[in-house]
Structure 1
Amino acid sequence: MSWIDLLRMSISNLRRRKLRTFLTVLGVVIGTASIVVMISLGLGMQESLYREVEQSGGLTMVKVRGKQAGDTMMYSGDQEKESEKYVKDDTIEELEKLPHVTFVTPVYSTQVMFLKGKYEGYGELVAMNPEGLKAQNIELASGSLPKTNTSHLDLVYGNGIPTMFYEKGSGKGYYDTGELPEIDFAKDPIFMILDQEGYMNQQENSAGGALGGSGADTGESSGGSGREAQAKTVEKHVVMASGIVAGDVDTYNANYYNIYCDLDTLKQMLKKEFAGRAIPGQPTTKSGKPYKEFCYSYAQVKVDELDQVNAVAEMIRGMGYEVETNAEYLETMKSQFAIVQAVLGGIGAVSLLVAAIGIANTMMMSIYERTKEIGVMKVLGCRLSNIRTMFLVEAAAIGLIGGAVGNLLSFGMSGVINFITGSGAAMGFDGNISYIPWWLVLLSMGFAVLVGVTAGYFPARRAMRLSPLAAIRSE
């Protein structure tokens, strides 16, 4: 009996009992869709991690942290292991001299406040030199990276910055009203305040003056005048956008909440405004005076080869600094994602196991109903291997059809999940939370066919062992 004849008979047998075949295929569809969607969730998280690492300079980028400076909150490590050294200009020079180091960029991060009409907002200002900004691989929707050697500060706004603006009176923002501020961040000039403490004091003094106008009659005005004089030194810097990070407010990425600017320009502004005072995020002496050298939040070191990252990291640790590498971070997260994928895949595999039991049941019922047919085939000289192959082809066909339809269903379910979660933004992911690569489609279909063949193997062996005479006499 040829393969064409076997295939024709198998398809004919499946079509004879449409409802039973449909229900069995439906079990495979549900099992395949479950396992694909479950694994796709783990793959989506992994792809988001890869994009985040790429936006942080790639696997050859090393982050060097020193002693926490002032009020900066950038340090996230164990406080007991914090370095006793600050990251300063001489630190940058030391790091640049290390072997396999391509470049080093200092980074200064500070919280700033923005004012525009009836709105006020807050954000994390991240200052780097041009080389460091390019290494961030920032995808811009419009404009360019900040210009250097200018008298004014150009900013690159993260695409999530509009959500950080609130109405002054009500204090309501995007997450309260669902409406973005009426500000064109690409074109409108905005006031930026570096001295937030001074600005808050000014606001409090203004409110106090309005409520207690009789202070001059009670002899309390002198102290208030001193505070007001200090508050009036707060500068409102007019800033413009040089670029906007690609994506809308529902598209999360590593640059979502950041605002980037040129480091040298910001340092000049800080030193001018805070002359004689400690700059925010900078250490002070025991007497409270400003530290004589400018200290950075951290430094980014670019290594020429991936194989040299660990060696460079150990050299920097030997210098007394804390080191974080994207490669170490990625390896740690990959091991965690492997566990997540195994658990999710196992949950989906249970559904496919139930489908396998359904296939085995269908094949056994088919054998009981076709006993006489099997006996006739044996009497006519059909080989046992042909009978076995016929049943295995039927089981494989159920797995193949169920796997194909299950994958189509999984694409639909994945699309719904990504739509509901706003392409992962609702859960803090960069990109889709569910990601189905083509290799997963092929692997799941192959697995569904394998499950079908495995489930149909023992019924096929039973069909081979039927006695021809007993089969013919059976009703």
Structure 2
Amino acid sequence: MRFFDLLSLIIDNLGRRKGRVVLTAIGVVIGTAAVVILVSLAAGLQKSATSQLWGVNDLSRIDVSPNYGDMSGMEAVKVGGGGGGGSSSSASGQKLLTPGAITDIAAISGVKAAVARDWFPGGAEMRVGKLINYPSIMGVATDDLSVFDYEMESGSTELSRGTAVIGGYAARSFMDPNQRPGQDQPTQPDLLGQQVRLVLTKWDSTGTPITKTINLRIVGIIKENRSESDYMMYVRMDEMTAWAEWVNGTRINRNKDGYNSVVVRADSPDLTIDIAQQINDMGYYASTPQQMVQSINSVFIIMQLVFGGVGAIALLVAAIGIANTMTMAILERTREIGLMKAIGATNRNVLSIFLGEAAGIGFIGGVGGVALGWGGGALLNVVLANYLVSQGNSVTTQMTYTPLWLPLFALVFATLVGLFSGLYPSLRAATLVPVTALKYE
């Protein structure tokens, strides 16, 4: 029997009993829709959780910190603060981020770049006219911040002497120290290309503040991305080191004192976990957002399996209905089966016909279930959006998210459920003896 003849016969047989087929397929529709909606709900929660993580947008980034080792029992141990200006010590297991260490980290396979960073250890106040601001000052050992893959709001990522790149939030956080209660907030200045005064502060032994004014030109503004860069002002490492030496009153020897931290960029997010582990094995502390995302994804994958299993129970009930429907169909069509065999149909032909009918019921139910599940997920998103708007919140998340593979998987799974449900009745039909089947009343 040719395939298209078989397919035509299966469709005709299903069309003769529309009511029974529809009622049986409804069970498959409910089970398939339950699988789609529940798994979409878990996928939506996963997507919402990972997208709202702080700084999770850069999955190829690895933050490395020095290992100051066991300092117990040491006298007057001084570790470099934000500027790394402290003296070295012989603490057990100490691993500082010296230039040599950074070179070793950069040599790891898969590392795209390793950039040293250091915080300014004193106080800093940015002034534009009468307005003041308090950004965090960070020195970076690179002439171009493009290595960090920041999305720029405006300007350039290139740093030269006397220039700075500032985060979007910090660029719009100016205040008027003379503002009176009830007055409107001051208009934020446009910093791009503007010269600003950076007032650095340190304190002497008596607590008296000593200030130093630096003129800087803002050459770039980083777009807000819910990460630490929003609050930062980035300057060249050599300039920040000079300011830190002024605060500490001593020279900084990077080969002895190291840097506060190093940012490592991997060639691919898939390599970050392995690179971070190699850096940890070298004795430093390495962390990456990918580790957090991986942990969260593991939890939500388990949730998807559990939710999918709950929906599969409904499909199991539907499978019993398909098996019952096919068994009744065989009893009703026993003489028809005997006649088919008498005119030359083989056991394989009969088996194929009834298996095809069972799979067809599963396929019809699967199509309906996918449509119902997809529509139900969209309806849940609309209901959630309206509820958030009514509560005065902006819509920032979706309750459900249906990945492309899920409808395809649900449709194939429903079809297979129908196929296996009809296996026993189909085998029973295929093994009927023609003479006995023709005598059946």
**TM-score, with structure 2 as normaliser:** 0.62
Q: Relative to structure 1, is the Cα distance of residues 467 and 43 closer, same or farther in structure 2, using a 3 angstrom cutoff?
A: same
8 Å Cα contact 2:155-2:219 kept in structure 1:
no
8 Å Cα contact 2:144-2:158 kept in structure 1:
no
Shift of 1:396: 1.3
* Aligned pairs (5 A) from 1:441-456: 441-456=407-422
| 1:206 corresponds to | none
Q: Which moved further from structure 2: 40-49 or 457-466? A: 40-49
* Aligned pairs (5 A) from 1:233-272: 242-243=220-221, 245=223, 255=227, 258-264=230-236, 268=240, 271=243
2:428 aligned residue (439, 452, 462): 462
Q: Relative to structure 1, is the Cα distance of residues 113 and 261 closer, same or farther in structure 2, using a 3 angstrom cutoff?
A: closer
8 Å Cα contact 2:50-2:293 kept in structure 1:
yes
8 Å Cα contact 2:38-2:311 kept in structure 1:
yes
Shift of 1:453: 0.6
| 2:115 corresponds to | 105
Q: Which moved further from structure 2: 122-131 or 461-470? A: 122-131
Tell me which amino acid in the other structure corresponds to 2:116: P
Report the 3-state secondary structure (helix = DSSP H, G, I; strand = E; otherwise coil) of the residue aligned with 1:347.
Answer: helix
8 Å Cα contact 1:186-1:243 kept in structure 2:
no
Q: Relative to structure 1, is the Cα distance of residues 432 and 295 closer, same or farther in structure 2, using a 3 angstrom cutoff?
A: farther
Unaligned runs of at least 5 residues, structure 1? 73-81, 172-180, 199-225, 247-252, 279-288
* Aligned pairs (5 A) from 1:68-217: 84=94, 87=97, 91-97=98-104, 99-100=107-108, 103-108=113-118, 128-130=140-142, 133-140=145-152, 142-149=153-160, 151=162, 153-157=164-168
Shift of 1:94: 2.9
Shift of 1:15: 2.6
Q: Relative to structure 1, is the Cα distance of residues 304 and 400 closer, same or farther in structure 2, using a 3 angstrom cutoff?
A: closer
| 1:32 corresponds to | 32
Q: Which moved further from structure 2: 364-373 or 119-128? A: 119-128
Shift of 1:375: 4.2
Partners of 1:14 and 1:186 lie apart in 2 by: 72
Shift of 1:262: 2.0
2:343 maps to 1:363: no
Report the 3-state secondary structure (helix = DSSP H, G, I; strand = E; otherwise coil) of the residue aligned with 2:422.
Answer: helix
8 Å Cα contact 1:66-1:298 kept in structure 2:
yes
Partners of 1:352 and 1:8 lie apart in 2 by: 27
Q: Relative to structure 1, is the Cα distance of residues 139 and 362 closer, same or farther in structure 2, using a 3 angstrom cutoff?
A: farther
2:348 maps to 1:385: yes
Q: Which moved further from structure 2: 120-129 or 95-104? A: 120-129
Report the 3-state secondary structure (helix = DSSP H, G, I; strand = E; otherwise coil) of the residue aligned with 2:150.
Answer: coil
Task: Give the aligned length.
Answer: 392
Q: Relative to structure 1, is the Cα distance of residues 71 and 18 closer, same or farther in structure 2, using a 3 angstrom cutoff?
A: farther
Partners of 2:435 and 2:289 lie apart in 1 by: 72
Q: Relative to structure 1, is the Cα distance of residues 162 and 291 closer, same or farther in structure 2, using a 3 angstrom cutoff?
A: same
Report the 3-state secondary structure (helix = DSSP H, G, I; strand = E; otherwise coil) of the residue aligned with 2:409.
Answer: helix
Deviations 1:82-118 (A, max 9, x none): 985564xxx24432255346532123469999999xx
Partners of 2:372 and 2:186 lie apart in 1 by: 41
Report the 3-state secondary structure (helix = DSSP H, G, I; strand = E; otherwise coil) of the residue aligned with 1:154.
Answer: strand
Report the 3-state secondary structure (helix = DSSP H, G, I; strand = E; otherwise coil) of the residue aligned with 1:299.
Answer: strand
Deviations 1:299-351 (A, max 9, x none): 12346798898588546644x42233577667666655554443343233223
Q: Relative to structure 1, is the Cα distance of residues 365 and 129 closer, same or farther in structure 2, using a 3 angstrom cutoff?
A: farther
Deviations 1:370-404 (A, max 9, x none): 34443443455443332222211111112223333
Report the 3-state secondary structure (helix = DSSP H, G, I; strand = E; otherwise coil) of the residue aligned with 1:56.
Answer: coil
Q: Relative to structure 1, is the Cα distance of residues 436 and 170 closer, same or farther in structure 2, using a 3 angstrom cutoff?
A: farther
Q: Relative to structure 1, is the Cα distance of residues 364 and 416 closer, same or farther in structure 2, using a 3 angstrom cutoff?
A: same
Partners of 1:193 and 1:420 lie apart in 2 by: 50
Partners of 1:130 and 1:378 lie apart in 2 by: 83
| 2:261 corresponds to | 298
Tell me which amino acid in the other structure corresponds to 2:146: K
What is the root-mean-square deviation of aligned Cα atoms in Å? 5.8
Deviations 1:226-258 (A, max 9, x none): 99x96x979999997934538xxxxxx664984
Partners of 2:27 and 2:81 lie apart in 1 by: 59
2:285 maps to 1:322: yes
Report the 3-state secondary structure (helix = DSSP H, G, I; strand = E; otherwise coil) of the residue aligned with 1:63.
Answer: strand
